[in-house]
């Protein structure tokens, strides 16, 4: 008599049922399908109805306008642009300007936020009170007023171009912005780039080696003199051997304004400073909450190992705090990006200003343009969230939780 073992019953159907229907089973699945279908139908009705309305009123619709000539100029463009380019180019110009403010603002806000949070937690009475005052003052004032304040305060303090403040040689500060010498590529540029790359790679390798030595033999080696030597020496050497990597074009006063050189416009400075300082106040509170959520014993454990306060924070407390910090921090990054749409108040040419502003009023195609703009902000937010979630996933994985 054979004792054939019966194959175990297939788990597939049951698993699928649980995955799609949840606890409610197939009935729940059907309800979900119905719900999605209703949502899709409502969405379709809105679009179709809008289209019918626009057509019956003979309001221009469709996305054909994107290839029409824009015919207006923009004060700050990261890519070449002139008035004879198309609306789709304007869209790109505005998007890049929004990204520029968002990325720089996020970096600055994070740095300032961490510093203020650590200051607030510091045992130093004065430092913690100053940090506390900063947080309470900044986060309780509307951000639009702060943007206007920085813009008008910065502007009214600066002289007109003919009385520019000259800093060093070739740096000029006036109410038109900060003028700096512009590097123009020379013969040695590629060699320099290679040298910098080589220096960075060797520094990383050196650091890995130092860590390996530390973990294996317990001996710490001092690497910073080599790091500086590599980072400064290699590019310098490349410059000496292969000639000047670039020449500088200096700004010069011509007519009303400076010509030549590069320039940072005051609108950009005001917007970035205002958004960074504003968001930093919230980030400071988030970081403080995160650090305080870590058990006090961790700090004492670090101290008992002989680590300094700074090292304990950096190596033990902050990595654990990050799990608490990251989700609300992501929200603040998203807020900063979205708040950058206040740019139009001070004439910074961001996406909302040039696309949902000038382009909208020139073409009159509000429905399409608002839809595109909302879609872009949604996309930016989702990408930011995805990056932060990935970072959070890596942290929690490295901590083995």
Partner 1 sequence: MKRVSLVFILALSVGLSTQMASAQTLKTVTDRGILSCGVSQGLPGFSSPDDKGNWTGIDVDVCRAIAAAIFNDPSKVKFVPLSAKDRFTALQSGEIDVLSRNTTWTLSRDTSLGANFTGVTYYDGQGFLVKKSLKVNSALELNSASICVQTGTTTEQNLADYFKSNNMKYEVIAFGSADETVKAYESGRCDVFTSDVSQLYAERLKLANPADHVVLPEVISKEPLGPMVRHGDDQWFDLVKWVLFAMIDAEELGITQRNVDDMAKSDKPELKRVFGTDGNLGEQLGVTKDWVSRIIKAEGNYGEMFDRNVGAGSKLGIARGLNQLWNKGGIQYAPPIR
Q: Which spans of this chain sit near partner 1 (rule: CB under 8 A)?
A: 46-47, 49-50, 53-54, 56-60, 71-75, 83, 151-152, 155-156, 158, 160, 175-176, 254-257, 259, 266-267, 338-339, 341-342, 344-347, 349, 352-354, 356-358, 360-367, 370-371, 374
Token pair of 285 as six digits: 């509170």
| For partner 1, the closer CB: 153 or 228 | 153
Cα 379 off chain centre by:
13
Least Å from the CB of residue 34 to partner 1? 23
| For partner 1, the closer CB: 28 or 347 | 347
| For partner 1, the closer CB: 16 or 60 | 60
| For partner 1, the closer CB: 180 or 199 | 180
Q: Which helix (H) or strand (E) segment is 202 a member of?
A: helix 189-217
Q: How many angstroms separate the Cα of 319 from the Cα of each of 120, 295, 322, 326?
A: 19, 13, 5, 11
Angle at 333 between CA 104 and CA 146, to 5 degrees: 70
Distance CA 24, CA 32 (A): 11
Left, alpha or beta for 366 (phi > 0: left; psi -120 to 50: alpha)? alpha
Token pair of 295 as six digits: 């058990």
Angle at 122 between CA 119 and CA 128, to 5 degrees: 60
| For partner 1, the closer CB: 196 or 367 | 367
Distance CA 206, CA 231 (A): 12
| For partner 1, the closer CB: 94 or 245 | 94
């Amino acid at each position: 008599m054979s004792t054939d073992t019966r194959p175990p019953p297939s788990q597939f159907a049951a698993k699928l049922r649980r995955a799609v229907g949840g606890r409610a089973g197939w009935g729940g699945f059907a309800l979900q399908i119905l719900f999605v279908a209703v949502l899709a139908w409502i969405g379709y009705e809105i679009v179709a109805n809008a289209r019918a309305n626009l057509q019956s009123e003979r309001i221009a619709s469709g996305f054909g306008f994107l290839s029409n000539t824009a015919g207006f100029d923009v004060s700050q463009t990261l890519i070449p642009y002139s008035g004879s380019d198309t609306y789709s180019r304007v869209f790109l110009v505005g998007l890049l300007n929004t990204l520029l403010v968002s990325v720089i603002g996020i970096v600055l806000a994070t740095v300032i936020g961490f510093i203020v949070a650590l200051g607030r937690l510091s045992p130093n009475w004065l430092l913690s009170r100053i940090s506390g005052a900063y947080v309470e003052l900044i986060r309780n004032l509307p951000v639009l007023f702060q943007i206007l304040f920085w813009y008008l305060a910065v502007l009214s303090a600066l002289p007109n171009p003919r009385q520019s403040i000259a800093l060093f040689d070739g740096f000029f500060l006036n109410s038109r912005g900060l003028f700096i010498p512009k590097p123009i590529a020379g013969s040695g540029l590629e060699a320099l780039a290679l040298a910098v790359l080589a220096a960075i790679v060797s520094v990383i390798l050196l650091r890995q080696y130092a860590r390996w030595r530390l973990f294996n033999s317990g001996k710490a080696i001092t690497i910073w003199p080599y790091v500086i030597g590599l980072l400064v020496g290699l590019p310098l050497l490349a410059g000496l051997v292969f000639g000047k990597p670039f020449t500088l074009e200096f700004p010069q006063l011509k007519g009303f304004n400076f010509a030549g050189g590069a320039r940072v416009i005051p609108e950009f400075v005001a917007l970035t400073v205002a958004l960074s300082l504003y968001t930093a106040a919230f980030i400071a509170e988030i970081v403080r909450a995160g650090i305080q959520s870590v058990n006090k014993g961790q700090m004492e454990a670090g101290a008992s190992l002989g680590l300094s306060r700074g090292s304990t924070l950096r190596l033990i407390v902050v990595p654990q705090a990050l799990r608490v910090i990251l989700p609300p921090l992501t929200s603040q990054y998203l807020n900063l990006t979205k708040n950058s749409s206040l740019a139009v108040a001070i004439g910074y040419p961001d996406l909302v200003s040039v696309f949902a502003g000038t382009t909208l009023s020139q073409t009159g195609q509000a429905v399409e343009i608002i839809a595109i703009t909302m879609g872009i902000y949604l996309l930016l937010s989702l990408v930011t969230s995805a990056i932060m979630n990935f970072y959070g996933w890596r942290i929690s994985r490295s901590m083995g939780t």
